[in-house]
Amino acid sequence: MTPPKIHVDREIQAADIDYVDGRAELVGPGDDTLAGVTAAVIGIGHVWDADRFAGFPDLRVVSRMGIGYDNVDVAAATAADVVVCNAPDAPTVSTAEHTMALLLALTKELPTQRARALEGLGGPVVATARELDGSTLGLVGLGRIARRVATAAQALDMEVVAVDPAIEHSEVDGVRMVSLEALLASSHVVSLHAPANEATHHMINDASLATMRDDAVLINCARGALIDHDALVRALDDKRLAGAGLDVTEPEPLPVGHSLFGRPNVIVTPHVASSTAAGRRRLFEHAFDNALAVLSGDPATVVAPPH
């Protein structure tokens, strides 16, 4: 039986070929031979809309290397009779750890102290770094990644609260469910873990930032569109927010010289939270397995079946 032809929209690595082990023919982004491609394993580099689907006449499944699939026009996929899959388990560990890294780096003022060390400064300083013991972490969204962040925060004796419209319980694994308003008003650290959609677009804006503590830190390893970045800059300028850690931005990447850069209380990383060596392997492997499962008629992590 001829193995299926699967398009991968990033550079194909030797480890990818080893994992596939002859079960499919991988076609990279530089290969224009799209006829016969029945599956696509994709990141976030392209928008998959009706025009792009039209370029893949034999496509049966698009499989995202990650959780979010906001770069896939689901209606267009359905119209093209293409299944859409995601890999919700793949980035959990790496993204949760990156979230905690940003949280700790900001509350311990690591960028500022590194800069002091580079200037040859040492000795006692005015203590403004914070201990997390007894402080409150607010999670906007309580999916896989957020729950792992919650476990890590609880190990540091932080109180963890969350808001998630899909959860009806008042408490989940020691995490108290509250309203968004209560979460923003009470949390020393707010970490975003919501999907990007019409309801969440710019959910962090002038109004919501005004309800937050002026000593709060904002973390976003979800989607850049959750934050109005102009409002974030205003809050930082006015000292109505203590700091921000962003792995995702709007636009992405931020242009060189953006006003969020160069601030000691802001850390921006270029959407790399899931990009540990192990994380990247899981992203490809889970997405590939999902694609192969759809092609073989087996169950997969399907978010949009064909009509």
- Quick one: 77 and 99 in the same domain? no
- Quick one: 199 and 220 in the same domain? yes
- Quick one: 122 and 264 in the same domain? yes
Q: pLDDT (tens digit, 9 = 90+) per residue, 126-169?
A: 778 999 999 999 999 999 999 999 999 999 999 999 999 999 99
Q: pLDDT (tens digit, 9 = 90+) per residue, 94-120?
A: 999 999 999 999 999 999 999 888 999
What tokens were used for 39? 């599956």
Whole-structure pTM value:
0.90
- Quick one: 85 and 98 in the same domain? no
Print the domain residue range for 74: 5-90+276-304
- Quick one: 254 and 117 in the same domain? yes
Among residues of the chain, what percentage have pLDDT more than 90?
Answer: 84
Q: pLDDT (tens digit, 9 = 90+) per residue, 15-56?
A: 999 999 999 999 998 765 678 999 999 998 889 999 999 999
- Quick one: 290 and 261 in the same domain? no
Mean pLDDT of the chain: 94
The three-state secondary structure class of 146 is helix
- Quick one: 53 and 96 in the same domain? no
**What's the number of domains the chain is made of?**
2
- Point out the residues that are catalytic: 223, 252, 271
Q: Which H or E run includes 46?
A: none
- Quick one: 136 and 194 in the same domain? yes
Res 94: pLDDT:
97
Q: pLDDT (tens digit, 9 = 90+) per residue, 123-136?
A: 767 778 999 999 99
Which region, left, alpha or beta, applies to residue 173 given φ > 0 means left and ψ of -120 to 50 means alpha?
A: left
- Quick one: 47 and 168 in the same domain? no
Q: Cα–Cα distance between 144 and 239 in angstroms, integer?
A: 32
- Quick one: 282 and 164 in the same domain? no
- Quick one: 131 and 97 in the same domain? yes
249: CATH: 3.40.50.720
- Quick one: 153 and 79 in the same domain? no
Q: pLDDT (tens digit, 9 = 90+) per residue, 238-267?
A: 999 999 999 999 999 999 999 999 999 999
Q: Within the chain, where are the H helices?
A: 14-20, 50-54, 74-79, 92-107, 110-118, 144-155, 180-186, 206-210, 229-237, 277-296
